[in-house]
Amino acid sequence: MNVEIFNLSMTYPSGKTALRGINLNLSSPNLIGLLGPNGAGKSTLMKLLVAGLLPTEGAISVDGKPLMKQERLLKSRLGYLPQSFGLFDELTVWQFLDYMAALKGIVNS
Ligand SMILES: Nc1ncnc2c1ncn2[C@@H]1O[C@H](COP(=O)(O)OP(=O)(O)OP(=O)(O)O)[C@@H](O)[C@H]1O
Ligand SMILES: [Mg+2]
């Protein structure tokens, strides 16, 4: 898989610009670490890479096609543990896994 990031910028509705003009080419197989001080924009970049946010400028392509057109393929191959996440207190572990599998289109036979 080849991920290309072109001139990526993200300004939140509050007016805060978290990323400006990022250009990167990421190819698998590779182990990549994203390092930066607090507030550098690491989580913002991860959210953009998993199509959890839309950039205000620039584009991300996966294997030469726009990320949004590859979203299904990407999500079928992606494991992503966000920095902050929520759990439902009323669900058991099994019920929660079942729910997430249903959201990801994993059929329980
Ligand atoms: N939803 C949001 N609305 C407005 N500003 C935001 C939002 N999320 C992040 N920011 C701001 O964007 C900048 C980048 O934040 P981000 O969370 O991407 O940084 P980070 O590198 O992941 O930081 P940390 O190391 O603390 O996790 C920060 O100034 C942050 O306050
Ligand atoms: Mg973060």
pLDDT in tens, the chain (109 residues): 899 999 999 999 999 999 999 999 999 898 999 999 999 999 999 999 989 899 999 999 999 999 989 888 887 788 888 888 888 999 999 999 999 888 877 776 5
Query: Could you give the domains of the chain?
Result: 2-76 (3.40.50.300)
| CA 7 to centroid of ligand 1, rounded, Å | 19
β-strand partners of 22: 8
Best residue for ligand 1 mutational test, from 9, 10, 11, 12 (most atoms within 8 Å of Cβ): 12
Note the Cα 86 to chain centre separation in Å: 16
Best residue for ligand 1 mutational test, from 8, 20, 38, 44 (most atoms within 8 Å of Cβ): 44
